[in-house]
Every structure is written in C-alpha cells, then in structure tokens.
Amino acid sequence: MSDKKTVRFIITRQDNPDSAPYQQEFELDYRPNMNVISALMEIRRNPVDVKGNQTAPVSWDMNCLEEVCGACSMVINGKPRQSCTALVDQLEQPIRLEPMRTFPVVRDLQVDRSRMFDSLKKVKAWIPIDGTYDLGPGPRMPEPKRQWAYELSKCMTCGVCLEACPNVNSKTNFMGPAVFNQVRLFNAHPTGAMNKAERLNAFMDDGGMQGCGNSQNCVQSCPKGIPITTSIAAVNRDATLQSFKNFFGSDQV
C-alpha cells in the first residue's frame, strides 16, 4: 500500500439545503490523467472516507464534461472553476472541494444557479423573433462583428464570476457580472438591437448594473476568457446615454 500513489480530497459536504456543512476526507488510488470529476466518480463507486467509514456518495452537478455547459462549477483549492477541466496532476494536494456558496447549496457540491437564469429573463437576454406570422429574414450581421460577438456568446452561465465578485452577496441584489455581457451581446445583434432600450432599462432597475464596484475579479476568473469588464464599461456607456434619453429626450421609443 505504501508504494502506491494516492490522491487526497477534502470535500465540504452538506446533507440538505438547511443543514450545517462539514468536511470529509477521501483517499483514492492515483490514475494517470484524472480530473476532479473522475475522482468524484471513483468516490461514488466506493463511498468510504479516509477513516474507513461508509458514507453517502458525494453529490455534484455535471453535464458536458468539456467546459461548455458550466454545470460542474465548484470551488477547487479556493478557486471557483469547472471540475471537468481541473486536472488532478495540476492541483496541489490535498485537493479541497467546496460548493460555490454565492448560490444556495442543494447538496454537497451541488448548487442552485436559478438566480442567473432569472436575471437573464429579467434583462430579456434573448432575441424576440416569435410571432403569429413569418417575419422574414432579419438584417445581416457583418462577419467581423459576428466573430467578435462569438467571443461574448461563450458565456455558459457557470457562475464563476458571481462567486468571485465581492458585490454579489446576500446583502445586495446585484445580478452579477455575467449579465453585462449578455446585455451587450444581444444589444449588438442587428435584430436584438431593436429591443436595446428595453434591455438597458431593465438592467438599470433593481439589482442592475449599478451594483458593479469595479473590482474586476470577474474578468480575471472567467474560464472562457470573456472580456467581461469591457462589456461592463460598454453597457455603462449605453446606460449613460439611455438615461439621458429617458430624462431629456423625446417620447420617441
């Protein structure tokens, strides 16, 4: 046993949304190319902690396993990130896994990110094309702009930027950095731009853009490298103009 390489995990667990969290330590046999998810699967196969106690398998969310869905985000060694791309070989041991506490914990490492989706609904982060008749083709988007917008569209609503943001917490209702990027993305779309004012006004409302304090943790933490702070400043500029229009402008929409 002693010459066998092992991997140690310290996992913060919580049995239900209201119960107190506690830590549990696990030791697994090392396999080459392990990631955090494969280790969690190993624990699920044999849920016995380091002291030999039989325990319930650790609960976590996952879906795509290739860092495009955002579901498997958790705090790994103090950093919020996706567990699918967290390679065991690159992590310091013992590997500490915690849930992203900015969100309500469902169980163990599983959190409820509904607030992000509610925010997207609030700011109308979509392009309305549904109707009772065919609206025909919309205006074309120039190719360079499409390529630029593609970078913004990489957001997978994973919640890492909200976890890193000092202004997203229980004392405020700030919707979080990700929303700026979505507002900018849909306002930039030629068809989406038709509802630009509506989106901006919604985002100037309760929990809106004013909650940003420019700590810029979001852009540093984003796993997809989205220029979130550029989006923040750009949306701020649009909101400046929109608020002047709202106050001084005409009644024209």
Partner 1 sequence: MAGNREFFYRRLHSLLGVIPIGLFVIQHLVVNHFATGGEESFNKAAGFMEHLPFRIILETFIIFLPILFHAIYGLYIAFTAKNNASKFGFFRNWMFLLQRVTGVITLIFIVWHVWQTRVQAAFGAEVNFQMMENILSNPFMLWFYIICVVSAIFHFANGLWSFCVSWGITISPRSQLISTYVTMGIFVALSIVGIRAIFAFV
The CB density around residue 220, as the number of other CB atoms within 10 Å, is: 11
Distance CA 80, CA 99 (A): 9
Residue 153 near residue 96 (C-beta atoms within 8 A): no
Tokens of 53: 């106690």
For residue 11, CA distances in Å to 61, 87, 109 come to 15, 16, 8
Looking at the Cβ atoms of 19 and 210, the one nearer to partner 1 is 210
Look-up of token digits 């731009």: 193
Cis bond leading into 137, ω under 30°? no
Per the CB < 8 A criterion, the answer to whether 116 and 176 are in contact is: yes
- When binding is defined by CB under 8 A, the residue of 22, 240, 245, 249 that contacts partner 1 is 240
- Residue 26 vs 180, nearer CB to partner 1: 180
Q: Which of 99, 176, 177, 208 binds partner 1 (CB under 8 A)?
A: 208
Stretch that binds partner 1, among 20-28, 115-123, 145-153, 230-238 (CB under 8 A): 230-238
Question: Which residue number, 26 or 174, has a Cβ lying nearer to partner 1?
Answer: 174
Kindly indicate which of the ranges 13-21, 31-39, 186-194, 209-217 contains the residues binding partner 1, using the contact rule CB under 8 A. Answer: 209-217
Strand order across the 95-98 sheet: 22-29, 6-13, 95-98, 73-76, 79-82
**# of chain residues touching partner 1 (CB under 8 A):** 36
Which among 25-33, 52-60, 91-99, 214-222 is the span making contact with partner 1, rule CB under 8 A?
214-222
78 is an interface residue for partner 1 by CB under 8 A: yes
Q: What DSSP line would sit under 121-156, residue for residue?
A: HHTT-S-----SS---------HHHHHHHHHHTT--
**DSSP for residue 22:** E
- Complex with partner 1: residue 8 or 237, whichever CB lies closer: 237
- Find the binding residues for partner 1 in span 150-189 (CB under 8 A): 164, 166-167, 169, 171-172
Give the range of 22-30, 62-70, 125-133, 237-245 binding partner 1 by CB under 8 A. Answer: 237-245
Task: List CB contacts of 92: < 8 A, sequence separation 6 or more.
Answer: 77
Among 23, 104, 246, 249, binds partner 1 (CB under 8 A): 246
**108-147 residues near partner 1, rule: CB under 8 A:** none
50 Cα distance to chain centroid: 32
Residues facing 87 on adjacent strands: 35
Site for partner 1 in 31-60 (CB under 8 A): none
209 scored as a contact of partner 1 (CB under 8 A): yes
Residue 229 engages partner 1 in binding (rule: CB under 8 A) = yes
The footprint of partner 1 (CB under 8 A) covers: 78, 164, 166-167, 169, 171-172, 204-206, 208-210, 212-217, 220-221, 227, 229-230, 232-240, 243, 246-247
